[in-house]
Amino acid sequence: MKAHSRACVRAGATDVVAVEENREGIAAGKRHAARNGLKVRWMEADVFQFLRAAEKAQAQYDLIVLDPPSFTKTKSGGRDALRGYRELHLRAFKLLSKDGLLATFSCSHHVSEAAFAQTIVDALVDARRSARKLRQFEQAPDHPVLPTLPETEYFKGLLLEMMPGR
């Protein structure tokens, strides 16, 4: 079970939906939730399809956590990864309530922090939404960044709060 789902339930969220494409991941998540008495609705789906369907159904969320696997394992895949991040964020921004929160992460060292941030800005503009950055995340000390090995600096994240505006 993704730690995000568990944290949301324990923090008092009344409706938690976890979207996972991997069937084994869902089975493990369900077992963990049952063992710990946590109520999580599991959806086996491609997250892009899930977000499109949620938008079509005019769903709205107060918190969305985006924590996809690395969109690229190679430098040459960077452009496609950024397109994926842009679509992911665009769809999430359209689903957030007027003062909703987005926690978003990338674990690809082939996508720089600056490129990741710019992709989020571009998606905000496309979604006609405004947000403020509440917090920036980096990897924990148990995942050290070695200046001589740039690929060790792979984790980046932001917490954004939607704002009135557009």
- Residue identified by tokens 């709205």 is 60
SS3 66: strand
In whole angstroms, what is the distance from residue 163 CA to residue 100 CA?
A: 8
Residue type, 62: D
Sheet containing strand 61-66, strands side by side: 61-66, 96-106, 156-163, 130-138
- Kindly compute the dihedral angle of the four CA atoms of residues 70, 71, 73, 79, in this order, to the nearest 10 degrees: -140
- Residues annotated as catalytic are 107
- The partner residues of 157 in beta bridges, in order of sequence, read 105, 137
CA atoms within 13 A on the CB side of 107: 8
What is the phi/psi pair of residue 137, to 5°? Answer: -115, 150
Cα 82 off chain centre by? 14
